[in-house]
Chains A and B, each alone.
Chain A
Amino acid sequence: MIELKDVSFRYEGAKEQAVRHVSLTIERGECMVLTGLSGCGKTTITRLINGLIPDFYPGELSGSIFIDGEDIAKKQPHELSSMVGSVFQNPRTQFFNTDTDSELVFGMENSGVAYAEMHRRYDQTVRELQLHKLCGRDIFALSGGEKQSIAFGSIYALSPEIYLLDEPSANLDRQAIRRLRDTLLKLKTMGKTILISEHRLYYLRGVADRAALVEQGKITEIHPWETLEGCTDETLHQKGLRSIRDTTVELSEPPLPAQTPVLAIRSLAVARKKNVIFDHVDLTVSEGEIVGITEPNGFGKTTLARIVCGLMKEKSGSVLLNGVPARASLRKRSTFLVMQDPNYQLFSDSVEHELKLTIHREAPQDATITEVLRDMDLEEMRERHPLSLSGGQKQRLCIALAALSPARLLIFDEPTSGLDYRNMQRVAGMIHKLADDKRAVLVISHDNEFLNMACTRIISLAR
């Protein structure tokens, strides 16, 4: 169905090739996973197949790509849109319309599907993907997982033979990932060909037929999924891959604190415009502890982080820092939050300036900066522009900011979205280091594998 013959590609302006001499054949009805470290070139391979390369991302392309036996070199992306459907990483940026119905029919309208046929396919899509609850809604009011479902629906309505997914689980919670898995299984029974580029592997068990390892722009290994089943987690981790088994977390009760906890939350309730987001939340984090917050889905975990940092005010209940009730304005100054998307938190024109940008206190000494950069494995990047770093490096730079801040309470909101195993391990290591340095850490995540690796205690806020 898909055949890549000795394909190499170099992005315009880049020094090195993103993919080098890649040859790959995917049979009709097969589901293939591309995995490997961030920046290894797996996303580039998906872009070769949906035609975004070289039309949308210009550069130097060699080799040839066949879909259904046809060379796609001369085809525009819109000519491929009825054959290849693409789902991207970020559900927030892949919808064109503001309401769900318009979005579901967007592709059909563009390709000129006739009125009656369009309505038939719309009804079929809603029925087969069970989107009834999402019809006629404002997309902005949907959760990330629901947005992803609509994105899927929009492509499903075009009924392509090939589905390309670029890290579809990166911004989803566990429940949404389960839904994604169900959708993929459905596509498989329909005989569709699926290519997924992904870090998280556990949900693809029983879905994927083969897995390819991409390293530095080359496909180095291709195995049937059964071979992966035979591997231990250690073997996978050594290659920078995440576990193929779903991990569970063990919840534990807080130990009796030896001293005053850094953070204590007592029967906290939060509301936005009269809608109660959550109430009766109790939580303590002591020095040296790394507390992970997991389930339930849709709990408003990010809201909790914003409350603790003083970005939002509570409705009732109290937040105590070091045993003293702290108002929002005080919390703003005595906590540090590493946001889910590090792009928002970087302001300066070099890594060094970023770490020196301080308002209410003196900038750290050069020696301190050097030490922190060494800890975070960013020494080489000192002069680089923060926004030119890779996702993992940006994440580490934000952690460096946390390390340099005087705050004793540090909060991490989904620190692993889009990180490969190696970066995830690094982040976990750094969080441990911060906790050893007499701080208290709160980690908010639905990534069980990471929570187990990073936290000293994991709790659920479900009542």
Chain B
Amino acid sequence: MNQNTTLKGRDFINLGIFTVIFIVLFMVCMLLMSTTIYTQPFGTAAGALAAGPVYMLLRAKTSKPWAITIFGVLYGLVMFVMGSGWPILAAVIAGALIAELIARSGQYQKYGRESIGYAILMTATAIGSYVPLLTMKEYYRQLAETNSVDNEFMAQLVEFISGPYLVLAIVVTFIAAFVGTLIARALFKKHFVKAGLLKEVR
């Protein structure tokens, strides 16, 4: 196979390093957003926005087949091990495969396709992390009962959050991820290309 299409040690090192930064930034955003129940559904959106440049830099450094898939599997596994459950693992891997296909259609050279792939991957993450939230509905009710919380209020809150709010959160995630890649593009042009670290932003 051609040298430029096979992943090598250097690519794996880039994958390892940037995946870690991505996960750390993403987790911090999720954690900050989950301090209130109203902002919690927007955790993935905030993470997708802030970590966008990290992902896009990783893509610029490893624009070869299978890099997105490896990233997805590793990222999904970490989320899974952190206690987010299997839905997120499945969703992230599925999202990564779709992103891989989209990127492949542009020979891994088109910034626009990479952006859309990223937005889809993040949307998948959002879906994967909110499925458990739906099952938590039952847990909240239980909690309300055993802790003699104002039942009415809690029920309303749970209904609101699990309904239209979630759909909104998922849409916002898609947009935020896309905006994240735009910010990344601006950041690359302003710093990386000018400093000679990246050749050009396609």
Contact = CB atoms under 8 A, between A and B. Distances in A.
A175 interface: no
Q: Is the interface of B mostly helix, strand, loop or mixed?
A: loop
Contact of A388 (B10, B190, B195): B195
B197 interface: yes
A385 B195 CA distance: 5
A56 B197 contact: no
A387 interface: yes
Contacts of A349: 190-191, 194
B196 to A, nearest CB: 5
Contacts of B190: 349
Interface residues of A, number: 8
B67 to A, nearest CB: 18
Nearest to B193: A385
A388 B10 CA distance: 23
B199 A385 contact: no
Given A349-B190, A349-B191, A387 B197 contact: yes
B201 to A, nearest CB: 14
Given A13-B196, A13-B199, A385 B191 contact: yes
A56 B191 CA distance: 23
B194 A385 contact: yes
Interface in A377-402: 385-388
A56 B196 contact: no
A460 B194 CA distance: 43
A390 B132 CA distance: 51
A366 to B, nearest CB: 21
Nearest to B9: A78
A386 B197 CA distance: 12
A123 to B, nearest CB: 28
Interface in A1-24: 13
Interface string B168-202: 00000000000000000000001100111101000
A139 B194 CA distance: 35
A387 B191 contact: yes
A61 to B, nearest CB: 15
A13 to B, nearest CB: 7
A350 B194 CA distance: 9
Contacts of A388: 194-196
A56 B195 contact: no
Interface in B1-43: 10
A13 B196 CA distance: 9
Contacts, number: 18
A13 B199 CA distance: 8
Contacts of A56: 10
Contacts of A385: 191, 194-196
A387 B195 contact: yes
A165 B196 CA distance: 26
Contacts of A386: 195
A327 B191 CA distance: 36
Interface string A387-422: 110000000000000000000000000000000000
Interface in A328-369: 349-350
Nearest to A78: B9
Nearest to B194: A385
A388 B191 CA distance: 9
A388 to B, nearest CB: 4
Nearest to A349: B190
Contacts of B195: 385-388
B194 to A, nearest CB: 4
A350 B191 CA distance: 9
B41 to A, nearest CB: 33
Nearest to B197: A387
A17 to B, nearest CB: 17
Interface string A53-91: 000100000000000000000000000000000000000
A386 B195 CA distance: 7
A291 B197 CA distance: 38
A202 B10 CA distance: 36
A194 B101 CA distance: 49
B191 to A, nearest CB: 6
B184 to A, nearest CB: 15
Most buried by B among A350, A386, A387: A387
Contacts of B191: 349, 385, 387
Contacts of B10: 56
Nearest to A96: B13
Contacts of A350: 194
Interface string A22-58: 0000000000000000000000000000000000100
13 contacts: A13-B196, A13-B199, A56-B10, A349-B190, A349-B191, A349-B194, A350-B194, A385-B191, A385-B196, A387-B195, A388-B194, A388-B195, A388-B196
Closest 9 CB pairs of A and B: A387-B195, A385-B194, A385-B195, A388-B195, A349-B190, A388-B196, A349-B191, A349-B194, A13-B199
Given A385-B191, A385-B196, A388-B196, 14 more contacts: A13-B196, A13-B199, A56-B10, A349-B190, A349-B191, A349-B194, A350-B194, A385-B195, A386-B195, A387-B191, A387-B195, A387-B197, A388-B194, A388-B195
